[in-house]
Copies of this chain bind each other. A is one copy, B any other.
């Protein structure tokens, strides 16, 4: 996909040559750029993966110049999502390195392109899992940009406009994105608490809203990490009776404090069958292989089970007979659209539905990643971007 920034520099150049005079013989378009005056790239510092080790290191790199439809955001905080770890480790396919992860990003608008109307310099803004797409796409027009085939996800996607050739994420001091993909962060929620809403919040809010959650519905949440604890809090705030399924006994007190009716410690899948088919709906955030038929068995016949955790190779294996016996409808959900992302941020700000977070410095990222993998995060690590 050709980017606006490059198109713009080409147009600017053509104007300049027209002014300089005709008759100049251009044999190779690439020659043009050798002496064109493109705006300078934007310098940034961040933490990048350079291989599949799951260890990040400081890295100085460049963003594209601010295009007409772009905003430059000075990042204040970026939080750690399990997806960052999966992707950097190559669990979802081979990666280009160095690559900067991070798709829960908040900060202050530092510069805006000339077509930008949604933001002005000084605004509080957030960026989630997407940074660009094709405005002509039906999914884009429907506010479901995540399903557009041209969508550029926030890190590791081919992006011609990026000096590194791929999109680079938010573990960094700044980011340049199309204004469409930035959302407003209201003043009545802190940056730190807003950051996790950009992925963990929207990814759980979107399917819960699609399910058309009604007060008193019995909702299950499987996997109580960054996404799961937000699912519990959002479902509770919407009036659901929430049942949380965790493998960590020491999360039980927190889960009850989040407002769940019951926390079920799944040290054996038999506990799921013993629980029985009681729930109207289940959202599963488990990002590793798990026994889907066993987890589906807690949902009432003809209820719905939504998978949002994305395991290695995205693979979920199920027992078709078990699923048949449960009569549960299974689906998977991917993040949420931009209008819905603004909606969940406003909802959480207005209703004080805040993630439980731990603020860390850049140098603590690698230790934090190990904690996430070892289920020790409580419940979202938020990196202070001043420490990059």
Contact = CB atoms under 8 A, between A and B. Distances in A.
Contact of A331 (B314, B327, B333): B327
Contacts of A309: 320
B332 A323 contact: yes
A334 B321 contact: yes
Contacts of A267: none
Interface string A289-307: 0000000000001001001
Contacts of A334: 321, 324-325
A329 interface: yes
A311 interface: yes
A44 to B, nearest CB: 29
Contacts of A310: 320-321
A270 to B, nearest CB: 15
Contacts of A324: 307, 331-334
Interface of A: 92, 147, 301, 304, 307, 309-311, 313-325, 327-334
**Residue among A322, A324, A329 with most chain B CB within 10 A:** A324
Copies in the complex: 2
Contacts of A323: 307, 316, 331-332
B314 A317 contact: no
Contacts of A307: 320, 323-324
Nearest to A313: B319
Nearest to A92: B321
B330 A330 contact: yes
A310 B323 CA distance: 11
Given A147-B325, A307-B320, A316-B319, 8 more contacts: A309-B320, A310-B321, A314-B319, A315-B318, A315-B320, A317-B318, A324-B333, A330-B331
A358 to B, nearest CB: 28
A54 to B, nearest CB: 21
A316 B320 contact: yes
Given A330-B330, A330-B331, A331-B330, A314 B325 contact: no
A282 B310 CA distance: 24
**Residue among A323, A325, A332 with most chain B CB within 10 A:** A332
B319 A315 contact: yes
Contacts of A311: 320
